[in-house]
């Protein structure tokens, strides 16, 4: 059983600080495995290998669109978080699951693939590229970005699943440094807005199935 923390739309820095506190507890050996689910106000996050060429906005433009940016400790390049995007932060000690980061990334992808299946949308992987993709092969569009940090088998950061996301924010970056593919959202595919609480519940069920756990929601 792991803890489940569902937050309303919350500033990125606030949730980042919560992540770091739980992550440090895990490193100290405490049994505080947790999944945080939330949305963020508009924010760009720059992973450890972000290249300047993939950032197409200026600081002045950030102010105009009322977005923030943070340089963070996860792997990967630049990405966007905002309203209508389901963000999941699994803070796990993989010693409780499987000490294999490749397995862990594939498990995160599978949790999204199973959630998409609930909407009759086929999600799939692209060899050599972390994340989940949709649409026909050869014209793939990314619907979920994944970036993590791991230390001594403890994890933080996680998934960013475009549900009702305003995709225009992605025009200001080359998402994850991948310039030859577009991003999309579940709402765009289905042609309608999807209630976020509905998607969150389906994602919780998928996560429980993939990781073979039950959530403790008494937080």
- 19 contacts: CB under 8 Å, gap ≥ 6: 36, 89, 91, 156, 157
Percentages helix, strand, coil for the chain, rounded to the nearest 5?
35, 30, 35
176 counts as catalytic: yes
Query: Is residue 27 one of the residues assigned to a domain?
Result: yes
Distance separating alpha carbons of residues 208 and 215, to the nearest angstrom: 7
In a domain, 111, yes or no: yes
Closest Cα partner for 34 from 166, 177, 213? 213
Q: Residue 164 burial (CB < 10 Å; 0-12/13-18/19+)? A: buried
| CB 204 within 8 Å of CB 81 | no
pLDDT digits (tens, 9 = 90+) for 26-74: 999 999 999 999 999 999 998 887 777 878 888 888 888 899 998 899 9
Is 60 among the domain residues?
yes
Backbone conformation region of residue 107, classed left if phi is above 0, alpha if psi is from -120 to 50, else beta: alpha
The model's pLDDT over 184-194, given as tens digits with 9 standing for 90+, comes to 999 999 999 99
The active-site residue out of 38, 144, 154, 176 is 176
Q: In this predicted structure, what is the pLDDT of residue 177?
A: 60
- Residue 207 belongs to a domain: yes
Segment 158-173 shows an average pLDDT of 93
Residue 50 lies in a domain: yes
pLDDT at 179: 60
Q: Which positions ≥6 away from 162 have C-beta within 8 Å?
A: 84, 85, 143, 144, 183, 184, 185, 186
Query: Any idea which of 70-84, 98-112, 139-153 has the lowest mean pLDDT?
Result: 70-84
Number of domain units in the chain: 1
Pick the closest to residue 208 from 79, 38, 90 (CA basis): 90
Is the C-alpha dihedral spanning 83, 125, 100, 217 positive or negative?
positive
**Is 219 inside a domain boundary?**
no
Model's pTM, two decimal places? 0.93
pLDDT at 178: 60
3-state DSSP assignment of residue 168 = helix
Residue 97: per-residue pLDDT: 96
Domain extent at residue 184: 2-214
Q: What is the mean pLDDT of residues 12-18?
A: 97
How much is the pLDDT for 77?
81
Query: Over 60: is that where the pLDDT of 120 sits?
Result: yes
CATH number at residue 65: 3.30.930.10
Does pLDDT of 219 surpass 60? Answer: no
What is the arithmetic mean of pLDDT over 162-166? 97
- pLDDT higher than 60, residue 218: no
């Amino acid at each position: 059983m792991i803890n489940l923390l569902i937050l309303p739309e919350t500033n990125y820095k606030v949730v980042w600080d919560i992540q770091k506190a739980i992550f440090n507890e895990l490193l100290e050996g405490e049994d505080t495995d947790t999944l945080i689910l939330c949305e963020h106000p508009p924010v760009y996050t720059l992973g450890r290998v972000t290249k300047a060429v993939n950032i197409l906005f200026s600081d002045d433009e950030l102010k105009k669109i009322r977005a923030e940016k943070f340089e963070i400790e996860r792997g990967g390049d630049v990405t966007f978080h905002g309203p209508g995007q389901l963000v999941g932060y699994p803070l796990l000690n993989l010693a409780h699951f499987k000490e294999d980061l490749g397995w862990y990334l594939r498990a995160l992808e599978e949790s999204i693939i199973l959630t998409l299946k609930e909407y009759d949308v086929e999600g799939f992987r692209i060899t050599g590229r972390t994340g989940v993709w949709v649409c026909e092969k050869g014209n793939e569009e990314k619907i979920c970005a994944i970036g993590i940090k791991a230390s001594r088998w403890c994890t933080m950061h996680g998934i960013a699943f475009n549900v009702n996301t305003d995709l225009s924010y992605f025009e200001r970056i080359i998402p994850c440094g991948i310039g030859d593919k577009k991003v999309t959202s579940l709402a765009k595919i289905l042609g309608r807005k999807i209630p976020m609480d509905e998607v969150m519940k389906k994602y919780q069920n998928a996560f429980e199935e993939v990781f073979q756990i039950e959530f403790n929601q008494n937080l």
